[in-house]
Chain A
Amino acid sequence: DSGVTQTPKHLITATGQRVTLRCSPRSGDLSVYWYQQSLDQGLQFLIQYYNGEERAKGNILERFSAQQFPDLHSELNLSSLELGDSALYFCASSPQPFSAGNTIYFGEGSWLTVV
């Protein structure tokens, strides 16, 4: 158990809908990362937050947004869902902003299926 908690574990929704994925980082970790894992693209970095502020963006679509709250939990919002958004979404955390030697710990993921 990495200490990173994600909910829900599984979610099935229809195209065009909007969902919110939630993440609680490890105790004491200030940085939160979101990754998307699909069969054809592997693990793709989406976005990073540090202490409530957006720090870096990766391959995140405009239909997706995220935020980190004062209690350090984070939410990833996915809107206007398409079939291709079906994937495993991982949250990860680390004590400090990403840097060499700063290990990132992953949660168990939220499995999103868009039908």
Chain B
Amino acid sequence: GESVGLHLPTLSVQEGDNSIINCAYSNSASDYFIWYKQESGKGPQFIIDIRSNMDKRQGQRVTVLLNKTVKHLSLQIAATQPGDSAVYFCAEENSGYALNFGKGTSLLVTP
């Protein structure tokens, strides 16, 4: 069936480096994608979103890239900080009524 998945379950980066978190999706009809950050004991927090008619969108220290040809989504975090340590989820629109979440990637920022 259609699903959203993540390439890596864990990612460890040094403080100050750039982080790249990847996500594969299989529903070519999806029109909308979101990245969420979830810190321990908290709910998912919206980071950035992108529509399917775009291939790149930038926010504050974050960039989302969408490659529809290979159905791949990535989140780039510039100058990663300890406060960026969390689980990151990509989510795609599911049949126009909800978000379908991937399993999540745990990002660990080391000093």
Contact = CB atoms under 8 A, between A and B. Distances in A.
Specify whether A and B are partners: yes
A108 B43 contact: yes
A48 B91 CA distance: 16
Nearest to B91: A43
Contact of B93 (A44, A100, A108, A109): A100
Contacts of A42: 89, 101-104
A1 B36 CA distance: 14
A68 B32 CA distance: 26
A43 B43 contact: no
Contacts of A58: 98
Interface residues of B, number: 25
A104 B44 CA distance: 10
Contacts of B44: 43, 90, 106
Contacts of B102: 42
Interface of B: 31-32, 34, 36, 41-46, 49, 51, 89, 91, 93-94, 96-104
Interface of A: 2, 4, 33, 35, 42-45, 48, 55-56, 58, 90, 92, 97-101, 103-109
8 contacts: A4-B43, A42-B89, A43-B89, A44-B101, A56-B97, A90-B44, A98-B98, A106-B36
